[in-house]
Amino acid sequence: MTPQALQATVAKPVTLTGVGLHTGSRASITFRPAPPDTGVVFIRADMEERPEIKADIDNVISIDRGTTIGADGARVNTVEHLLAAVHGLGIDNVYVEMDGPEPPVGDGSAVSFVEVLQEAGKKEQEAPRRYLEVDETITYSEPGRGVDLVVLPSDRFRITFMVDYQNPALGTQYTSMYDLEEEFVSEFAAARTFCFLGEVEDMAERDLIKGGTIENAVVIIDHDVTEEEFKKLRDNFDVPDDAPRRMGEVMAGGDFRWPNEPVRHKTLDLIGDFALLGMPLKAHVLAARSGHAANVAVVRKLRKFQERREIELKYQTGKAEKGLLDPVAIQRIMPHRYPFLLVDRILELVPRERVVALKNVTINEEFFTGHFPGAPVMPGVLVVEAMAQTGGILLLQTIDDPANSLVYFMGIDKVRFRRPVMPGDQLRLEAELLKRKGRTCKLLTRAYVDGQLVAEGELLASIQDRPPEPGEST
């Protein structure tokens, strides 16, 4: 039996100092040991309250030329290379104390972070490592930009990456990473940031690369350089007089460290962005022309997948072959019982977004006895109640303690009934979260039979603490 992997932190504090690429600010960062289940937490030591920002997908606030995270008015720019180094070395928990807004750029790769973390050493902790194991295909696509990301089931974290920038200096490039632990340091950590000359000029005009030099990026010429342009580059970035000027040549950064260094750097960025998931991933990522925006979008999808899996593991009593949650599992979430539980199965659940459920309407329902004799029709108010219960299942997954909470509905708007619901019908119930403020939520709900809309409406609800049972102490 394979021993269970344990979490790890750094063995001792280590410090690195340098200049940030985009802000140009000089900063010292100190990696410090952190307890199990902490994750990677940045501490802005230069700010009065020493705010902490966890490296988490929910804290991403910008993906413009890098991944920026923020919380409580504080932010840290361009975290992807640092996170790639931490994740690539198998470090789960670490405090990153900073006295500036951006980690040092170094030579444009992750190698400076790797070196200092290797100096610190790694210490195993008495807590098991949690993995996200993907068992279905997750996709993301931007057809207009030719961007595609596919996440497939795998027994380990693998990456296959392809780029094609239609530029003579690059052409089509491809790389694969089969084992993060074995290959990260030797094959990907030293791959440097690259960009095209046109991008450098644009970013310089927008004052976005205050710390940029010819020492921390590979600059590829994408148009013939005029004398006036060259003079600007020489004045702003200390480009030597004999630097190349023709389209397709490399102006700064020297020779590539590998013939496919640019796609290796894109892989490095992906590793750093995927670290925002907060746990190691067991999956094979296929990427074509992906950047920070696409990486972050897929990590958000993976977070939803993770939350859905955790709900299933928490509530399901056995393997739900026909749905995510069966009737017994639903009763672990909902307070309703016979004859007022009107949801039989959960088919889909995207936490904090939407839920799809089924209600089988049989002739044995008690309400058919009086509604109506000889012409049974499900009361419209109960169709609304079924939609509301479906929404309640979604809302109770947005809070930390659903077992001790109830959903009370405060308003029903725009309700319409399109056709009657009869015995033998199967209701497909859908609820989508439109808005949430504190514990008050607005839902769009719909009910279908055989693909036809039978009812719809907007529901306003409030999540409240469950009152104590009779005889319980308060």
- Domain spans, the chain: 6-128, 138-291, 316-465
Fold of 316-465: Thiol Ester Dehydrase; Chain A (3.10.129)
CA distances from 202 to 62, 217, 224 (A): 18, 15, 16
What's the CA dihedral at 241, 244, 250, 256 to 10 degrees? -70
Q: How confident is the prediction along the chain (474 residues), in pLDDT tens digits per residue?
A: 457 899 999 999 999 999 887 677 888 999 999 999 999 999 999 999 999 999 999 999 999 878 999 998 999 999 999 999 999 999 999 999 999 999 998 888 999 999 999 999 999 999 999 999 999 999 999 998 889 999 999 999 999 999 987 666 677 899 999 999 999 999 999 999 887 776 665 665 665 555 555 566 677 776 777 777 777 766 666 666 667 666 667 765 567 899 899 999 999 999 999 999 999 999 999 999 999 999 999 999 999 999 888 888 777 766 545 457 888 888 888 888 888 999 999 998 888 899 999 999 999 999 999 999 999 999 999 999 999 999 998 888 777 777 778 889 899 999 999 999 999 999 999 999 999 888 899 999 999 999 999 999 999 999 888 887 665 544
**Backbone phi, psi, residue 13, to 5°:** -70, 145
Q: Which of 223, 265, 292, 336 is catalytic?
A: 292
Tell me, yes or no, if 87 is annotated catalytic: no
Tell me, yes or no, if 292 is annotated catalytic: yes
CA 321, 327, 331 angle in degrees (round to 5)? 140
**Among candidates 397, 298, 405, 402, which has minimal Cα distance to 355?**
397
Please give the CATH superfamily to which domain 6-128 belongs: lpxc deacetylase, domain 1 (3.30.230.20)
**Among candidates 158, 23, 156, 161, which has minimal Cα distance to 98?**
23
- Whether the bond into 339 is cis, omega within 30 of 0: yes
Please give the CATH superfamily to which domain 138-291 belongs: lpxc deacetylase, domain 2 (3.30.1700.10)
Instruction: Look at the pTM and tell me if it is higher than 0.85.
Output: no
